[in-house]
């Protein structure tokens, strides 16, 4: 049962502890996986796929014949859903494009900034219990908008060596056919270092469990990564008029992901707190993944009662949730006061599941309180900035003495002479 706690009585330790930790045994296991993949390449990938996924593979990649079979297997209704979702995601992320700029307002000086796409990106897609078509769309489409030319998908196979037809159709719809049947730390290692068949990439994005997160942490620096993601989270901020059935359903939508997921209700109404607590228990009994959800609710779930919406907002900003639902009378009035949240769902008719699959904003979000300084995945994550500048000789001569003086104050005579050389010769 979800615990009901008073906001004013909570200690920092009781509030929410979601430190992203690297467990020693996990770290050692991931080191071994990375070492094996670097040394043995595809052979190591096949061994780990047999060991962890129960699949005996000859070919690590998805063939054209498998795409053909998936096309026949997926019903037209879901294909239309995928197309609508893809269009919504594309429409939202198109607005994230950046413009280059050039400054020419001073004689003899040109400077500016230009955006260029990362060339090669690998996307990790978890299987729990099936590969997520939504993750494919959410990660591939912003990369394409950014201009990434080489996109590779890795996802664990089923025991029979197949990938879910829905995931393959999402990949095809997103125009990515380089799909490899590998997951876990071994997939991250393959993308970071390359193997005989898996290409090395420049950046690795996408969610995964603790082994994927640990592997991404370890290969960072050789390649870029999007974030170190922890278990999924939802915080529902509810006032006294919130329907407790809806709030409970939304909390369980995240609790069913993983026993480590956290579902939190913050409310200024003790009546709503008690009603939601009862609804969670009732709905748990008929949830197919109730064993997972119950562990999440009992170990990580909580209901925090405040004496005002102002304190409820304070609780939100302290927790910095991945998903935040504002189930209140006027959610847009509260929105400017929300400083820390990955994605905000406004109003009683905007469940978090809408963002997971269909609406358009990205569902790859900062977890574990990192919304204090991190952002959702977007077009920016697949681009990099370069600055440029050009001074003609008179413009450099005008400031050469100042540059030389600056350099000498830092003890760098070579810098000073470099600037002065253009002035003197």
Domain count, the chain: 3
Residue 10 binned pLDDT confidence (cut-offs 50, 70, 90) = confident
Both 124 and 174 in one domain: the answer is yes
- Separation of alpha carbons 66 and 69, rounded Å: 5
The answer, yes or no, to whether residue 256 has pLDDT greater than 90, is: yes
- The domain boundary, picked from 191, 225, 259, lies at 225
Q: What burial class does residue 250 get, using C-beta atoms within 10 Å of its C-beta: 0-12 exposed, 13-18 middle, 19+ buried?
A: buried
Whether residue 199 contacts residue 44, with contact meaning beta carbons closer than 8 Å, is answered with no
The pLDDT assigned to 128 comes to 80
Both 287 and 326 in one domain: the answer is yes
Whether residue 134 contacts residue 365, with contact meaning beta carbons closer than 8 Å, is answered with no
Q: Where in the sequence is the domain holding 416, given as residue range(s)?
A: 392-424
Both 329 and 415 in one domain: the answer is no
The pLDDT assigned to 154 comes to 98
Phi/psi-derived region of residue 221, left when phi > 0, alpha when psi is between -120 and 50, beta in every other case: left
The pLDDT assigned to 16 comes to 60
- Separation of alpha carbons 44 and 36, rounded Å: 6
Both 277 and 322 in one domain: the answer is yes
Secondary structure tally for the chain: helices H, strands E: 17, 14
Kindly state the percentage of the chain with pLDDT values over 70: 97
Dihedral pair phi/psi, residue 121, rounded to 5°: -130, 135
User: Which is it for the CA torsion 96, 99, 105, 106, positive or negative?
Assistant: positive
Residue with tokens 């796929």: 49
- The domain boundary, picked from 344, 360, 376, lies at 360
Both 16 and 62 in one domain: the answer is no
The crossing angle, in degrees rounded to 10, of helices 42-53 and 184-193 is 160
For 188, 226, 236, 378, 411, the CA distances from 384, given in Å and listed in that order, are 22, 13, 35, 12, 32
Displacement of CA 318 from its chain's centroid (Å): 20
Both 338 and 213 in one domain: the answer is no
Q: Which residues pair with 5 in a beta bridge?
A: 304
Q: How many CB atoms lie within 10 A of CB 163?
A: 24
- Separation of alpha carbons 356 and 135, rounded Å: 9
Strand ranges inside 87-201, DSSP E = 101-103, 109-117, 120-124, 150-154, 179-180
Residue pLDDT, tens place only, 48-86 = 999 999 999 999 999 999 999 999 999 999 999 999 999
The crossing angle, in degrees rounded to 10, of helices 184-193 and 24-40 is 50
Residues 319-337 as b or e (16 or more Cβ within 10 Å = b): bbbbbbbbbbeebeebeee
In a domain? residue 383:
no
Residue 121 binned pLDDT confidence (cut-offs 50, 70, 90) = very high
Both 207 and 311 in one domain: the answer is no
- Separation of alpha carbons 314 and 7, rounded Å: 10
Both 287 and 191 in one domain: the answer is no
In a domain? residue 143:
yes
DSSP state of 198: S
Q: Is the peptide bond before 159 cis (omega within 30 degrees of 0)?
A: no
Name, in order, each residue with C-beta under 8 angstroms of 325's C-beta and a sequence gap of 6 or more.
234, 235, 236, 237, 250, 344, 345, 350, 351, 352
Report, as residue numbers or ranges, the catalytic residues.
322-323
- The alpha-helical segments, DSSP class H, found in 158-209 are 165-173, 184-193
Both 51 and 130 in one domain: the answer is yes
Residue 13 binned pLDDT confidence (cut-offs 50, 70, 90) = low
Residues in the chain: 425
The answer, yes or no, to whether residue 347 has pLDDT greater than 90, is: yes
Whether residue 215 contacts residue 34, with contact meaning beta carbons closer than 8 Å, is answered with yes
Residue with tokens 């026993």: 259
In a domain? residue 105:
no
Phi/psi-derived region of residue 360, left when phi > 0, alpha when psi is between -120 and 50, beta in every other case: left
The pLDDT assigned to 130 comes to 85
CATH code of residue 12? 3.40.50.1980
The pLDDT assigned to 20 comes to 53
Displacement of CA 295 from its chain's centroid (Å): 24
Residue pLDDT, tens place only, 374-403 = 999 999 999 999 999 999 999 999 999 999
In a domain? residue 248:
yes
Tokens at 336, concatenated = 């400017």
Both 28 and 118 in one domain: the answer is yes
In a domain? residue 405:
yes
- The domain boundary, picked from 360, 379, 410, lies at 360
User: Which is it for the CA torsion 45, 48, 49, 55, positive or negative?
Assistant: positive
In a domain? residue 377:
no
In a domain? residue 367:
no
Q: Is the pTM of this model over 0.75?
A: yes
Both 349 and 304 in one domain: the answer is yes
Per DSSP bridges, beta strands 323-327 and 233-238 are parallel
Both 122 and 158 in one domain: the answer is yes
Whether residue 123 contacts residue 206, with contact meaning beta carbons closer than 8 Å, is answered with yes
Q: Which residues pair with 389 in a beta bridge?
A: 111
In a domain? residue 106:
no
């Amino acid at each position: 049962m979800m615990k009901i706690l008073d906001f004013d009585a909570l200690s920092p330790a009781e509030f929410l502890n979601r430190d992203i930790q690297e467990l020693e045994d996990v770290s050692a296991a991931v080191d071994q996986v990375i070492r094996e993949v670097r040394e043995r390449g595809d052979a190591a990938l096949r061994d780990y796929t047999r060991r962890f996924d129960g699949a005996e593979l000859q070919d690590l990649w998805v063939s054209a014949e498998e795409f053909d079979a998936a096309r026949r297997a997926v019903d037209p209704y879901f294909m239309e859903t995928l197309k609508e979702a893809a269009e919504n995601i594309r429409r939202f992320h198109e607005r994230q494009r950046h413009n280059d700029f050039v400054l020419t307002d001073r004689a003899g000086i040109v400077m500016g900034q230009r955006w260029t796409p990362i060339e090669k990106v690998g996307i990790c897609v978890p299987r729990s219990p099936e590969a997520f078509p939504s993750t494919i769309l959410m990660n591939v489409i912003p990369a394409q908008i950014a201009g990434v030319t080489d996109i590779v998908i890795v996802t664990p196979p089923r025991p029979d060596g197949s990938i879910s037809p829905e995931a393959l159709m999402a990949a095809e719809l997103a125009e990515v056919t380089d799909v490899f049947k590998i997951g876990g730390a071994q997939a991250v290692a393959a993308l970071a270092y390359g193997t005989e068949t898996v290409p090395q990439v420049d950046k690795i994005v996408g969610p995964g469990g603790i082994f994927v997160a640990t592997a991404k942490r370890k290969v960072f620096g050789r390649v870029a990564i999007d974030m170190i993601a922890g278990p999924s989270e939802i915080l529902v901020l509810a006032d006294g008029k919130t329907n407790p059935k809806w709030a409970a359903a939304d909390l369980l939508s995240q609790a069913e992901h993983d026993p480590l997921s956290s579902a939190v209700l913050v409310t200024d109404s003790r009546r709503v707190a008690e009603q939601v607590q009862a609804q969670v228990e009732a709905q748990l009994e008929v949830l197919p993944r109730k064993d997972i959800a119950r562990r999440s609710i009992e170990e990580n779930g909580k209901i925090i009662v405040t004496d005002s919406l102002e304190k409820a907002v304070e609780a939100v900003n302290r927790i910095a949730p991945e998903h935040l639902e504002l189930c209140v009378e006027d959610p847009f009035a509260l929105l400017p006061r929300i400083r820390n949240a990955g994605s905000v769902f406004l109003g009683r008719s905007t469940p978090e599941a809408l963002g997971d699959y269909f609406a358009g904003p990205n569902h790859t979000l900062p977890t574990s309180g990192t919304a204090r300084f991190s952002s959702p995945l977007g077009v920016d994550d697949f681009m990099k900035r370069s600055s440029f500048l050009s001074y003609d000789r008179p413009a450099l001569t005008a400031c050469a003495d100042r540059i030389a003086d600056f350099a000498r104050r830092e003890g760098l005579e070579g810098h000073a002479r470099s600037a002065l050389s253009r002035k003197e010769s």
